[in-house]
Chain A
């Protein structure tokens, strides 16, 4: 009887022992699983960190840019269509220190041959400048930069604009580039946002060069932009520019004092976008030596465009109306352009574009014509 009881106790102890050790084992397995998961997580993170080199090269000199190739078809008697190696643009950037940044852009236009002289192809230093962050709202810039004016003058890069041909008045009233210095400020005003750039530079001249100011004084300009909280994007702004020109391409007694202003607006809500600019340049002829206004004719250059666009998934379709008058005192020199636009965004860096421009010339002696451009544009991040 006693031995039977002992047997029972022994069996029970064995069962208890087995279940205890099995419980202990399962606890250990659980711990091991947790540890394994943690190790797996750490390994994954280490692999990601090893693969990610962007942090390491952040302060190194980086190279970016873009390229585009076009096929142009036109019945313009003054030009010939065909394939065009329009831009190959290389940008070099370096964050020199926490506050100092270097930026440059070299553009190879129309695939220049280094030893070639024919044609209008060119190698251009479109930008070379240093930015110094004075504080979190204000930056000073010195060097060559795109003239801060309106929208298209700065926001013009082919991967991010809908047409290869720009509106006619762009670069005709405000100059394309400025060699000089600027101060840019950014300030929140309630839910709105103010951005301004005040600048001085050598100004506009037909012998634009990077070594001296050919004009009679420094050009000055101001661009102001307000971002208002009414839509996804609701930007309105204005530009002012003045200078006393001394352009060798003009007669010495007809060097204009130039005052130009412009207004712009950009709105985006949902799939619908709108962008418009207006600019007016007033030219007062003066004598280069004694720059008092002459009794000669004061003339204006005027231009404007309005562009509507609609996004459908990877597609953007649009329409633009464009007007330019190079001299308001002259007759029969206006041009109007109606443009149809189709973009296909392959990804964020690649766009296929088709644009069809109908140019309507005021002069009845000149024949209206079209320009149709198919292009592939790639941005190098």
Chain B
């Protein structure tokens, strides 16, 4: 019982943190008409799918693992923590098996790059995606 009481503040912080996480929009360039499911996005970020249906290579953009949006995206879409997802990408790079290296940038740059790059995919806070022309939202992660 004492242990449970000790855990209450920790649980409260966790709940508060998850409540604060803003929804995330998975985005592509507005010229890109291909639709993608969450499972297909997972394969892109898992380095399994590296090209769009038209054969063009996918430019994959990530947020830094300490970013709250990165954590929400990794948990809900990739099924792992953002730290684990970043470590997997680093592991692919170090063992030289990465087929389509990902780039990590801050959200404002990801939205800007995706709006200008037809072959790009990324994810940003929902509000940022809504206010940016040249972007198409694939789906929202909450």
Contact = CB atoms under 8 A, between A and B. Distances in A.
Given A139-B99, A379-B94, A45 B83 contact: no
A232 B87 contact: no
Interface string B39-53: 100010000111100
Interface stretch (B25-33, B102-110, B134-142): B102-110
A28 interface: no
Interface in B99-137: 99, 103-106, 108-109, 112
B91 interface: yes
B65 to A, nearest CB: 6
B6 interface: no
Nearest to B100: A136
A155 interface: yes
Given A48-B106, A54-B105, A136-B57, A188 B49 contact: yes
A64 interface: yes
B18 interface: no
A45 B124 CA distance: 15
B11 interface: no
B109 A52 contact: yes
Given A232-B79, A347-B83, A157 B91 contact: yes
DSSP majority for the B interface? mixed
A349 B57 contact: no
Interface in A15-54: 44-45, 48-49, 52, 54
Contacts of B55: 136
Contact of A127 (B49, B79, B96): B96
Given A159-B94, A193-B48, A48 B109 contact: yes
Contacts of B39: 191, 229
A166 interface: no
Interface in B59-118: 65, 79-80, 83, 86-87, 90-91, 93-97, 99, 103-106, 108-109, 112
A357 B92 CA distance: 28
**Most chain A C-beta atoms within 10 Å of own C-beta, residue among B49, B55, B96, B97:** B96
Contacts, number: 77
B109 A45 contact: yes
B48 A154 contact: no
A348 B86 contact: yes
Contact of A52 (B49, B87, B96, B105): B105
Given A188-B49, A379-B90, A155 B95 contact: yes
A44 B108 contact: yes
Classify chain B: how many residues form its interface, as a range: 20 to 34
A154 B99 CA distance: 15
A86 B107 CA distance: 38
Interface in A79-128: 91, 93, 103, 127
A127 B80 CA distance: 30
A349 B91 CA distance: 10
A66 B94 contact: yes
A156 B94 CA distance: 10
Nearest to A345: B83
Interface in A178-199: 186, 188, 191, 193
A207 interface: no
A160 interface: yes
A58 B91 CA distance: 18
Contacts of B83: 345, 347-348
Contacts of B105: 48, 52, 54
A136 B51 contact: yes
A154 B55 CA distance: 29
A44 B108 CA distance: 8
A146 B95 contact: yes
B91 A188 contact: no
A227 interface: yes
27 contacts: A48-B105, A48-B109, A54-B103, A54-B105, A64-B93, A65-B94, A91-B94, A93-B96, A127-B96, A146-B95, A154-B95, A154-B97, A155-B91, A155-B95, A157-B94, A157-B95, A159-B87, A159-B90, A160-B90, A193-B48, A232-B80, A345-B83, A345-B87, A348-B65, A348-B86, A349-B87, A381-B93
Given A49-B109, A155-B95, A232-B80, 20 more contacts: A45-B109, A48-B105, A48-B109, A49-B112, A64-B93, A91-B94, A93-B96, A103-B96, A136-B50, A136-B51, A156-B95, A159-B91, A159-B94, A186-B48, A232-B79, A345-B83, A347-B83, A348-B87, A348-B90, A381-B93
Interface of A: 44-45, 48-49, 52, 54-55, 58, 64-66, 91, 93, 103, 127, 129, 131, 136, 139, 145-146, 154-157, 159-160, 186, 188, 191, 193, 227, 229, 232, 345, 347-349, 379, 381
CB-CB nearest 7 A-B residue pairs = A160-B91, A136-B51, A348-B86, A232-B79, A103-B96, A348-B87, A48-B109
